[in-house]
Amino acid sequence: MFRFPTRFAARATWRHACPMVMAAMLLTWACDNPTVVRPDFAYDPTALTGGLLYRWSTGAKVRVFVEPMAAGSADLAVAVQRAVQSWNAVPQGREFTLDVASNRDVADVIVYDRSVAQPVATGSCPFNPSGAAGYTYFCPLNGRAERLRPIAATVLTAAIVIRVDMTTTATQSALDALVAHEIGHAVGIGGHSPQASDVMFTRPTVSTPTERDRNTLRNLLGRAADITL
Ligand SMILES: [Zn+2]
């Protein structure tokens, strides 16, 4: 489900799972680089944001930090590592690179489980992950994502916060699918696939982006952003 804000210019949140809340262009890298031909998207990557496209600035190194937690049957850090690897394989150039960070205070994306304290101070938008298996949050502010302050840090660094509820995922593969889906939102897919076999289906069961997921991301990476993360 997507919780559409009353005034989108200032706020956008979306959430995933139960209940789920949340023209091709050619991209020229630079004058002396070849034009990249983009595939059509398989589903609308702006359906959850009222038609607004968001993504990282081209060439961004996106640091992803996983909040430590007690060991359990499934490992959140492993799921994030796998998601980072599989989404990094999708861009046709170097539009973004996800890296797992070891320091929360320099992270662009912070991932945590419901069982640990919220690691980031709330931004200007409502932050309400309750009831969601996965919840990806950023807050648009003047065409950018508002920077959020990790708890105990003095600087504003994080643009995106992802909260998962691991009590909703019984196995590592179920957690992998959930995390892959949320990271898909974090790299610019602001929509859900209607096809159950896709990672970006509302209740994903696979963790490797399908051709449809890949084409959708490749398409949006070639378009101008309305909101730069
Ligand atoms: Zn979702």
Ligand 1 centroid distance, CA of 155 (Å): 29
Is pLDDT larger for residue 216 or for residue 9?
216
Q: How far apart are the CA of 224 and the centre of ligand 1, in A?
A: 22
Percent pLDDT > 90 in the chain is 76
- 119 pLDDT above the threshold of 70: yes
Mean pLDDT throughout 167-194?
Answer: 97
Alpha helices in the chain (DSSP H): 76-88, 172-186, 211-221
Residue 135 alpha carbon to ligand 1 centre in Å: 7
- Rounded Cα distance, 79 and 184, in Å: 13
CA of 32 to the centre of ligand 1 (A): 38
Contact 227, 145 (CB under 8 A): yes
Ligand 1 centroid – CA 31 distance (Å): 36
Q: Cα(63) to centroid of ligand 1, in Å?
A: 21
Q: Specify the pLDDT at position 155.
A: 85
pLDDT in tens, 41-88: 999 999 999 999 999 999 999 999 999 998 888 999 999 999 999 999
* pLDDT at residue number 135: 96
- What's the 140 CA to ligand 1 centre distance in angstroms? 18
Q: Is the pLDDT of residue 168 over 60?
A: yes
CA-atom Rg of the chain in angstroms: 16
pLDDT of residue 123: 85
pTM for the full model?
0.86
Residue 13: which of 136, 131, 132, 119 has the closest Cα? Answer: 136
Gap between the Cα atoms of 27 and 55, Å rounded: 14
Check residues 111 and 155 and name the one with the higher pLDDT: 111
pLDDT of residue 6: 33
The pLDDT of residue 40 is above 90: yes
What's the 3-state SS for 175-229?
A: HHHHHHHHHHHHCCCCCCECCCCCCCECCCCCCCCCHHHHHHHHHHHCCCCCEEC
Rounded to the nearest angstrom, the distance between the alpha carbon of 182 and the centre of ligand 1 is 6
pLDDT at 25 over 50: no
Domains and CATH numbers, the chain: 13-223 (3.40.390.10)
Q: What is the pLDDT of residue 54?
A: 97
